[in-house]
Every structure is written in structure tokens, then in C-alpha cells.
Amino acid sequence: MILIPAFNEEKVIGSVIETLPKNLPGINTIETVVVNDGSSDKTAQIAKEKGATVISHPINRGLGGALGTGFEYARRNNHDLLITFDADGQHNAENIKAVVKPLAEKKADVVIGSRLVNPKGMPWYRIVGNFGLNLFTFLFYWVWTTDSQSGFRGFSRKAFQEIRIASDRMEVSSEFFHEIGRLQLRMIEVPITAIYTEYSLAKGQRNLNAFKIIFKVALKRIFPK
């Protein structure tokens, strides 16, 4: 199952869905699920026209909320693999094969598509910001990753069955690593190329958000629920 959380992406969601592979080696069926996180534009309609299953949140809950819903859907529909993919066109569908491979071969439970193995095209301030967040992820969760903020991830059945997402917004990226550490999931990284357009850069995270994320995660660490 390919999970695309989307909020007001009518401009690009159509082409993003179109670029997704229809077949993959070793995979029977591919269901593309778009979680429409309370969009006010035509994201849902366009996604539906392109053949995706659309789950619509009546109100916006954030990236974490949308991913959590996608995970729940995957569990209820007996899927074997789950790939998360961005709606804004930053991700390259050609990399899906590489992300799926270790999962299909049962070599890993979680695959992280990392943009920083080859950071070509990433603005320098993002490289610095990402490295900072990677360091922070390591300090808090004892899991090292070269791309803690990557939205391109793959999960085995065991992984998405057991991972519990409680974060609503963008700190969810860090929460995945918490779960990986907690559940002792086997994680590997696979290089991916990011497509930086004016649109996807504007939609991505700003470095300032990093402080907000660190604050929220630190608070959750000190006061769990």
C-alpha cells in the first residue's frame, strides 16, 4: 500500500499519483491511499479520479494524524507492506522499487529513504537543519539516521501493525524513530533523490520548525501522556 498524506495539494497530487508504479516485482496488488487531511481544495476529487482510495479527515489534524489514519487503514485491509510517500512532488517514484526491495526480501522492518546520502540539490540551510535534527533524534532515541525528517519510508507488516503514532503534526517523523527503538525494528536506509521545485521547497519544513519539533518531543519525553 502506498500512503500519501495530503493537505491542499490539488496542483500536484494528480501528477504524483500518475507517476506511481502500477507493478512491482514480487508484489501482487498496489493500493494507493490518499489521506485527505481536511483539504479545502480539490485534492480529494483529483486523487479519486486518478484511481486512489481517498480517506478524508473532516478537519485538518496534521501529518502525524494523517499517517496514523493510513496505518489504521492498512491494518484493517490486510496489507503486507506500507510505503509512505509525499504529496508535494518532492519524492521520486522511481525510488519506490529500492525502498520496497529490502522489505520484500525480509531484510528489514523499516526502510528510510534518505536524501542525505547524496544531498545534491538540497539547500545548504536545509542540510544543516536536517543534520541538527538527526543529532537530536540520536540523542533522544539512540537511533542514528542520516535523514530523520524523510517522508519516504517503507514498513513491513510487523512494523505497521505494531507502530503506534500519537503525534499529530510534524514531530511525527521523530516519533517513528522512537518506535523503531522501542520495538527494536530492523531499520536500513536507502538513498533517494529529492526533486526540489519552488513548489516543494515552499511546502517543506522550514528550519524554524525544527525548534518547535525539538521542544514538543522533549516535552513528550519528560511528560509522557
Cα dist from 74 to 33, 55, 79, 150, 213, whole Å: 9, 12, 5, 20, 27
- Min dist. Cβ of residue 16 to other proteins (A): 20
Which range touches other proteins (CB under 8 A), out of 10-18, 72-80, 142-150, 200-208? 72-80
Encoded one letter per residue, x for contact with other proteins by CB under 8 A and - for no contact, window 163-202 reads ---x-x----------------------------------
By beta-carbon proximity to other proteins, the closer residue of 72 and 80 is 72
Minimum distance between the CB of residue 61 and other proteins, rounded to whole angstroms? 5
Report the residue number, 56 or 146, with the smaller CB distance to other proteins.
Answer: 56
Determine the Cα angle at 161 with ends 79 and 138, to 5°. 120
The CA–CA distances, whole Å, from 113 to 33, 56, 66 equal 19, 26, 19
- CA 39 vs. chain centroid, Å, equals 18
Q: How far is the CB of 38 from other proteins (least distance, A)?
A: 8
CB of 57 to other proteins, least distance (A): 5
Residue 77: left (phi > 0), alpha (psi -120 to 50), or beta? alpha
Q: How far is the CB of 69 from other proteins (least distance, A)?
A: 5
Cell of 163: 507502530
Strands ordered across the beta sheet of 187-191 = 53-57, 32-37, 2-6, 81-84, 153-156, 110-114, 187-191
Least separation in angstroms between residue 107's CB and other proteins is: 31
Q: Is 101 in the site for other proteins (CB under 8 A)?
A: no
Q: Which is nearer to other proteins, 82 or 194 (CB)?
A: 82
What is the x/- site pattern for other proteins, positions 28-67, by CB under 8 A?
Answer: -------x-----------------xxxxxxx-x--xx--
Task: Classify strands 2-6 and 32-37 as parallel, antiparallel or unpaired.
Answer: parallel
* 110-114 and 153-156 beta bridge pairing: antiparallel
* Contact residues for other proteins, defined by CB under 8 A: 35, 53-59, 61, 64-65, 68-69, 72-73, 76, 166, 168, 219, 223, 225
